[in-house]
């Protein structure tokens, strides 16, 4: 007992000077000494602070993690910036960040806590604003995709079918009007070919606007088709590889992956002067990563001066908690990569 008293006397001056909460607690889980700042912050009478176990002052949701952490402290692990909530005498909540050390020879815990309530409230407000903005972004993206879906349906179901009827009429004339001269027949054959190209073009544009294949067949099949279509359209070989579980991605992530890949391949088509492109999706353990690589001319990447395409991709990545990176060097091609947590 004398040793404990001397130990407490050594730190008495510090107790009175610091604005932080300073406490000495016994191994049994009761306060032995608290400074004026702790009494003022928690608001309990001193007798009550010493007569009740410390855990009874802790917010019920934080008691289990606090007990577990304290057990590690008593085993010799220093406690640095451990955050939990305490209930004040008036019924309020105060957030505290504790730094503690255990003295086994005295069976005492020496602890200092900073009041971080204002910081926690600010963090909560920021998080709430972020969730509202994220919800709005998701809503706007969903609305845009619905509009695209409607436009694609009209383009495919209405205009493409009308073009098909025109082609059928042209073909009927060619087959059933034998008196046509050679020049007219060639014009009819040419019109039939153009009508066929028109139908195929409408179907391709319809898919580009809103890929129904994404909901019907999944991301793997959609990106595989996109790469093949890119190769046919540009003559640039595009290899698609995937090694991941598609079921862990929701439709919003799949849609943004498709749009980012679509935009990246468009950049390859118009700017990269590449001879080869690769699209890969892989499971890296904690994340799913999509990468689009080309061996084109590259460019000097400037994060402060993004074009509209790259800016749009960064916004899409951020809206799904992803991180988009663009790596490029002159003459060494470009890699666009997006990584989202699983």
Q: Exposed e or buried b for every residue in 189-201, given b needs 16+ CB within 10 A?
A: eebbeebeebbee
Q: Of 202, 222, 206, 223, which Cα lies nearest the Cα of 214?
A: 222
CA 176 to chain centre: 61
Q: What is the pLDDT of residue 203?
A: 67
Counts for the chain of helices (H) and strands (E), in that order: 12, 10
Profile the chain (342 residues) by mean pLDDT over runs of 10 residues.
54 72 95 94 96 97 96 92 96 96 94 95 89 77 71 68 83 84 88 83 67 83 91 92 93 91 91 95 95 93 68 87 92 94 90
Q: What is the pLDDT of residue 1?
A: 46
Kindly give the pairing relationship between strand 31-34 and strand 79-87. Answer: unpaired
pTM for this predicted structure: 0.53
């Amino acid at each position: 007992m004398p040793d404990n008293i001397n130990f407490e006397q050594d730190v008495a001056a510090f107790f009175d000077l610091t604005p932080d909460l300073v406490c000495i607690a016994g191994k049994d889980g009761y306060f032995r000494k608290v400074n004026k700042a702790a009494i003022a912050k928690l608001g309990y009478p001193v007798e009550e602070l010493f007569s009740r176990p410390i855990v009874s002052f802790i917010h019920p949701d934080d008691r289990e993690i606090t007990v577990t952490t304290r057990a590690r402290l008593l085993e010799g692990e220093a406690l640095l910036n451990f955050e939990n909530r305490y209930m004040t005498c008036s019924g309020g909540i105060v957030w505290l960040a504790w730094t503690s050390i255990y003295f086994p020879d005295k069976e005492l815990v020496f602890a200092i806590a900073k009041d971080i309530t204002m910081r926690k409230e600010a963090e909560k407000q920021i998080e709430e604003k972020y969730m509202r903005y994220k919800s709005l972004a998701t809503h706007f993206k969903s609305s845009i995709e619905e509009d695209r879906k409607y436009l694609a349906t009209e383009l495919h179901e209405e205009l493409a079918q009308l073009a098909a009827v025109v082609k059928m009429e042209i073909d009927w004339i060619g087959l059933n009007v034998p008196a046509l001269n050679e020049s007219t027949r060639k014009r009819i054959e040419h019109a039939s070919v153009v009508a066929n190209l028109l139908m195929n073009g409408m179907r391709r544009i319809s898919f580009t606007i809103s890929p129904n294949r994404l909901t019907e067949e999944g991301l793997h099949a959609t990106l595989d088709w996109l790469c093949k279509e890119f190769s046919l359209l540009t003559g640039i070989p595009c290899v698609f590889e995937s090694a991941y579980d598609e079921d862990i991605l929701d439709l919003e992530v799949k849609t943004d992956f498709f749009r980012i890949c679509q935009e990246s391949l468009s950049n390859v088509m118009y700017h990269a002067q590449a001879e080869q492109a690769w699209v890969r999706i892989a499971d890296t353990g904690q994340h799913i990563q999509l990468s689009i690589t080309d061996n084109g001319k590259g460019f000097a990447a400037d994060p402060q001066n993004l074009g509209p395409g790259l800016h749009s991709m960064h916004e899409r990545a951020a809206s799904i908690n992803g991180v988009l990176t663009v790596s490029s060097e002159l003459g060494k091609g470009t890699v666009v990569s997006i990584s989202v947590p699983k």
